[in-house]
Amino acid sequence: MRAEWRANTWMAIELLLVSVVLFVLADKIYTVIATINEPLGFDTEHCYILRVRELSEAAPEYKKYENQGERWSDLLTLKERVLARPEISDATMSSNAHPYNPNNSSNQLDIDTFSMADAPLLVRRVDPDFFKVFKIEGANGETAEQLGEILMKERIIPSDNALLRKAGIRSLKNLYGKQMVLSGQDTMTLRASFKPMKYSDYGTVHGWAGASMFERFHPSMMGFMEGISVRVKDNMDKDFAEKLMADADKDLRVGNWYIASVDSFDFIKKEFNRNSVTETRNVIICALFLLVNIFLGILGTFWFRTQQRIREIALRMVSGATRIDIFRRIVGEGEVLLLLVTPIAIVIDYLLTIYEFTSWYDGYFSPMHFCVSALAAWALMAMMIAIGIYFPARRAMSISPAAAMKTD
């Protein structure tokens, strides 16, 4: 009995350590899957960006502007010509704003009594049509058109989770009507917030890039403009870029402004996500590799443990025990050991979580995240124990009791 207790103690310690490791793996996999399945907050299907450039002073066709107003007027005219094309439904100008954009800028936006001095928001500078092109919606059900109107009046619209990391506030709806202060100077009123946008398909709206704001695009931002983003009508994507560039020199040159190239957002998305796809694939492969090794280790442990009990199994069979009785007892012992160490493992898992040793997602502690990861770790352990015992026990019971009881 002392030897059996000693063996069970070491087995319990092994199960405890493996349970904690499996929790960390389950936590990582949960984070990856949950992040990928988060709503994007925008739609780039049928969208393209027209790269707009200006002629240099050395160009024969160069136009010398008397003031910036003329330059801005020509740019607006170019946008109107683009929008007039029959295959285009919406068009927008922006700076550091379109989805899958590696260029970033930030600014301080204080909301009500919450100062964001140490947590500036990502800034997306857009014109009112941006919401229509990328189908962005308000957190309170506002349409893209309504968001555009509010942007024209208030200049700023923050994401609904702008205060999540700063103050733990998940939504700004209760703060509508309160004051906002941009850069500690300009005062506006919070009229709406938009559904958070992901930075990439593999980023989370709960991260640093999820807290952002739209600022109205201004003529002074012309030099930082990334181009004119457009949404093409359904079933009109075929050869869109080629047809537009064929007409660019004739119809889409206004003053010094011209269309240099056209990129599909499908291409932009693929290139932007390339590194994230590789990293995610590597994480999944490593996690699966560790799971297989853990499974083989548990399988080997219980296989050896069951093989050592062949005589005991034979004796029970001679005593009239059925195969089901033997399976129930042997598997039950392993599962009982797991149940005994599970509360201790959960305490350790909780400490790892609140001290942020696990993957960061949806705040430093999310009950759903924790429970799913802990349950997954326990279920995997229970399955590994059952499989690790089933096959050697089945083999042991196929040996005749006389042969099993025979000494070497």
Q: How far apart are CA 200 and CA 101, in angstroms?
A: 9
DSSP bridge pairs for 52: 259
Q: 185-224: per-residue pLDDT in tens? A: 889 999 999 999 999 999 888 877 888 999 999 898 888 8
Q: Residue 35 in contact with residue 203, Cβ under 8 Å?
A: yes
Which of 198-202, 229-233, 369-373, 390-394: highest mean pLDDT?
A: 229-233
How many CB atoms sit inside 10 A of residue 261's CB?
13
Summarize the confidence of residues 285-307 as an average pLDDT: 83
What are the counts of helices (DSSP H) followed by strands (DSSP E) for the chain?
11, 12
Distance linking the first and last C-alpha atoms of the chain: 23
With contact defined as beta carbons under 8 Å apart, do 96 and 105 qualify? yes
Instruction: Quote the tokens at residue 95.
Output: 């700076």
Q: What is the DSSP letter of 218?
A: -
Instruction: Identify residue 283 by its one-letter amino acid code.
Output: V
pTM: 0.82
**pLDDT higher for 7 or 162?**
162
Residue 219: half-sphere exposure toward Cβ, Cα within 13 Å: 10
Give the pairing of strands 212-216 and 121-126: parallel
Which residues pair with residue 385 across a beta bridge?
Answer: none
How high is the pLDDT of residue 129? 97
Mean pLDDT rounded to a whole number for the chain: 88
Q: List, as one string, the DSSP characters of 260-317.
A: EEEEEHHHHHHHHHHHHHHHHHHHHHHHHHHHHHHHHHHHHHHHHHHHTTHHHHHHHH
**Which residues on adjacent β-strands are paired with residue 264?**
48
SS3 state at 67: coil
In the three-class reduction of DSSP (H, G, I as helix; E, B as strand; rest coil), residue 57 is classed as coil
- CA–CA dist 212, 127 (Å, integer): 16
Q: Of 66-80, 105-119, 273-287, 353-367, where does mean pLDDT reach its minimum?
A: 353-367
- Given a contact cutoff of 8 angstroms between Cβ atoms, the answer to whether 137 and 143 are in contact is yes
Report how far residue 383's alpha carbon sits from residue 363's, in angstroms, rounded to the nearest whole number: 31
Which DSSP state fits 221?
G
Residue in the block written with tokens 């590696």: 102
243-267 pLDDT tens trace: 999 999 888 999 999 999 999 999 9
**Is the pLDDT at 230 greater than 90, yes or no?**
yes
Strand partners, 106: 122
Task: At 358, list the tokens.
Answer: 């696990």
